[in-house]
Amino acid sequence: MEGGKHLKRLPAFFDYQVKFMQTFTLPCGLRVVCAPGQTNVVYLGIAVDAGTRHELPSESGMAHFTEHMSFKGTQRRSARQVLSAMESVGGELNAFTGKEETVYYCTCLEQHVSRAIDLLLDIALDSTYPQEEMNREVEVVVDEIESYLDQPAEMIYDEFESLMFPNYPLGRNILGDAETLRTFRTADMQRFTHRLYHPDNMVLYVLGNVEPEKVVRTIQNSRMLQHQGAIVVAEQKFKIQNDAQGPSQAPFKDILPIKGELEGVFTRQKGTHQAHVVIGAQAFGANDPRHLHMYFLSNMLGGPAMSSRLNLALRERNGLVYTVESNCTAYTDTGVWSVYYGCDVADRARCRRLVIRELERLTERPMPQRTLDAARRQLKGQIGISYDNFENVAIGMAKRFLHYGRTLSQQQFFEQLDAITAEDLLTTAQTVFAPDRLLTLEYV
C-alpha cells in the first residue's frame, strides 16, 4: 500500500473523455463513473470520502491505518485471499490515503473486471479488522513512519501544512504517530468505518474498454449490494455531503496571515547534510476560479520544465541547488502553494532571496502578452502529455466526482486557460505572494 505518499496527479479541473463518460447512482447512494479506455487494460477502484481531515482528535492516523487493515481480511476472504485475488490473474491491487480521501485501486485485463469489482466492494464494505492482525500491522505502519522520518524532503511538506493549518485536522500528518496507533482496537476502526465507509460516501470508477452495462450488472449482482435493488441511472450533479473539519469556505481574504519566528521563518535543527527549505502560503480551494490562476503561476515558477523561472535562477545561473520545484495543492475549501529546494546550509539565505525576487517580479507589473502566451502553450502541452498516465487519470476522475460531482472537458479547461489575462495573474500573485502571507520552514 502506498500509505501517505501522494500520487502525481492532474489538476482538479477536467476529466478524461468527458463526453463519453457515463454516471450511475445506486439507491444506496454509491456513485459509479465509467469512461472508455484506449487499451485492453482497465483501471478501476473505489474512492472513499475518508481522509486525515475526517478524523476525530483521538483518531490521528486512523484513515491511513484503516487503509492498511482493509487488506487484512473480510467476511468472505482471508488476508492472503485478498492479496492473491488480483495477483493470481496478473492484476494489481493497491491503495493510498490523502488528506481528504482514501482510494483503493486495481489494474487488470478486461476479462477480470468482474473479479476486481467484487474484491473492491468486499474490502471497502465488509472488512473485519481483526485485533490480531491490527497488532501486527501497527508495527508495519510504525516502520513506515520511521522510514518517513528519515526522508526530510518528504517530511518537510507535512510539517509545513501543520504550520499552515495549526488548529485543523487538515494540518495533521497522514501517518499519525506510533503512540496513538498502538491504542487502536477493532471497535475503534469499526466506529470510524461505520461513520465514513458507506456507499453514499464512495465513488466506484472504471476507465477501460468495458461496457457500462456490464459494470452496473456486476455491482448489482454483488453480494454486498444485492439487497439494494435496481440501479437508478442518473445524469446529474451530486450534492456532496462533507462533514470534514477544517477551514470554512470563507473568502480568501478572511484567512488570516500566518507569521512565525524571524518574520515568518521557522528553522528546525535536523542535522541533515543539506538544508531543506519550503516557502509558501495559503492559496485557494478547487472551487475557487483563482486556483487555476495559482496553478498557472506555480507552473511558471517551478513546474517540470527545466526552463522554469526558479530552476533558471537557482540552478542554471547560480549552481545553488539540484532540485527546486513549485507545487499548488487544492483541497475542497482551501489550498496550499509552496516552493521546495535543497541547498548547502550556508546558501539557504541566498536561495531564499532569489526565490523572493522571482515572486516579486510576478507582483510588480502584468507580464508581457508574449510571455503569457508561451507559458499557456507550455502548460497545455504538459497537460496533454500527462494523459498518457491512465492510472492517474482514472484516480483523478474519481476524486473529482467524489468531492465535486462534476466534469469539465479538456476543451472547456483549455478555454478557461485561454481566458486568463496578465491582470488576473498579477492580482493573484499580489494576493498570495504578499510578504505577510509567506511562511518559510527550514531543516538544517
Alpha-carbon distance of 292 to 379, in angstroms, equals 12
Domains and CATH numbers, the chain: 18-233 (3.30.830.10), 252-443 (3.30.830.10)
Q: How many residues does the chain have?
A: 444
**Residue-wise DSSP of 153-198:** HHHHHHHHHHHHSTTSGGGS-TT--HHHHTT--HHHHHHHHHHH-S
User: Alpha-carbon dihedral of residues 48, 51, 56, 60, nearest 10 degrees?
Assistant: 130
Alpha-carbon distance of 341 to 357, in angstroms, equals 15
Which residues have CB under 8 Å from 55's CB, separation 6+?
61, 62, 63, 169, 172, 192
Is 248:333 a contact under the CB 8 Å cutoff? yes
Q: What is the pLDDT averaged over residues 40-49?
A: 97
Please tell me whether residue 34 adopts helix, strand or coil conformation: strand
As a whole-number percent, the residues of the chain with pLDDT over 90 amount to 77
Q: What is the pLDDT of residue 144?
A: 97
Q: What is the pLDDT of residue 226?
A: 56
> What tens digit of pLDDT does each residue of 56-108 get?
999 999 999 999 999 999 999 999 999 999 999 999 999 999 999 999 999 99
Distance of CA 360 to the CA centre of its chain: 29
Alpha-carbon distance of 375 to 396, in angstroms, equals 24
Q: What is the pLDDT of residue 225?
A: 67
Cell of 412: 472547456
- Give pTM, 2 decimals: 0.88
- Chain mean pLDDT for the chain: 88
Alpha-carbon distance of 259 to 116, in angstroms, equals 49
Is 253:290 a contact under the CB 8 Å cutoff? no
Alpha-carbon distance of 289 to 284, in angstroms, equals 8
The secondary structure element, H or E, covering residue 95 is: strand 92-97
Q: What is the pLDDT averaged over residues 315-330?
A: 97
Alpha-carbon distance of 242 to 248, in angstroms, equals 11
pLDDT above 90 (res 243): no
Cell of 363: 507582483
Cell of 128: 473485519
Alpha-carbon distance of 64 to 60, in angstroms, equals 9
Which of 110-124, 136-150, 220-234, 279-293 bottoms out in mean pLDDT, i.e. has the lowest? Answer: 220-234
> What tens digit of pLDDT does each residue of 332-356 get?
999 999 999 999 999 999 999 999 9
Please tell me whether residue 263 adopts helix, strand or coil conformation: helix
